[in-house]
Amino acid sequence: MNRFNAAMGRWKKDQDGNWKRITDPLNTCASLDEPIFSAKDGGEIDTLGGTIEDSKQADQMERAEEAIYTRQLHDALKKSLATLEQQERDIVVMRFQQQKTRRQCVDALYLRESDVRKLEGKGLRHLRSPQSLKYIQRFHDDIIDRFAWYGLGFGAWESAGASGVERAVERAEQKTQQKVEYWFRA
């Protein structure tokens, strides 16, 4: 038997004269069509080839998921904006979606600059209300996680002269100081 296996290339003698099995990768590999069975019920769940990731399909799937997420976010923003009054909505959309200046909003809506500023502030406050926030709350953590570290690199430090944390603390202190001055005006 060992000589037959040796002739077939499955066994060979080592230096001590003992027969040793030759492992041939082609003899030990499995077919990609080999089924994979579930550990729970023993039923077939997939094939071995089905578990190999296709990079093109993975990229397409990622792009599709991103498109669906973006569409859902846009729909939620539209619902949230629909809770605003018409002028507030127009100004918020012009300022933050169309990235227009207040001056451009004044020219487009035929309002005074102070009115545009007041309506913008009022619209942003309404967007933070529970009535508007309920539509976009589920996207909050994703957006915070995605952009939390934006502007914290060396370039931002070099231009601002402080780290992002220091700038955040300075802004918080300024807001606190403004509130104190407002409430304790003499």
Query: Alpha-carbon distance 123 to 165, whole Å?
Result: 28
Q: Are residues 73 and 129 in the same domain?
A: yes
Residues in contact with 80: Cβ distance below 8 Å, sequence separation at least 6, in sequence order: 127, 132, 133, 135, 136
Q: Are residues 176 and 111 in the same domain?
A: no
Do 108 and 94 contact (CB within 8 A), yes or no?
yes
Task: Please give the DSSP secondary-structure letter assigned to residue 9.
Answer: T
Per-residue tens of pLDDT for the chain, all 186 residues:
556 655 555 667 777 877 777 665 555 555 666 777 666 666 667 776 666 777 777 788 888 888 898 899 889 989 999 999 999 999 999 988 888 999 998 999 999 999 999 999 999 899 888 888 888 888 877 776 666 566 666 776 777 777 777 777 787 788 778 777 777 764
Q: Are residues 74 and 90 in the same domain?
A: yes
Do 72 and 79 contact (CB within 8 A), yes or no?
no
Q: Are residues 21 and 85 in the same domain?
A: no
Residue 86 corresponds to which tokens in the numbers above?
Answer: 């018409």
Do 117 and 102 contact (CB within 8 A), yes or no?
yes
Domain assignment present for residue 146? The answer is no
Instruction: Residue 175: give the domain boundaries.
Output: 153-186
3-state secondary structure of 45: strand
Q: How many domains does the chain have?
A: 3
Indicate the helix (H) or strand (E) that contains 47.
Answer: strand 44-47
Domain assignment present for residue 144? The answer is no
Q: pTM to 2 decimals?
A: 0.49
Domain assignment present for residue 23? The answer is yes
CATH number of the domain to which 92 belongs:
1.10.10.10
Q: Are residues 64 and 134 in the same domain?
A: yes
Domain assignment present for residue 40? The answer is yes
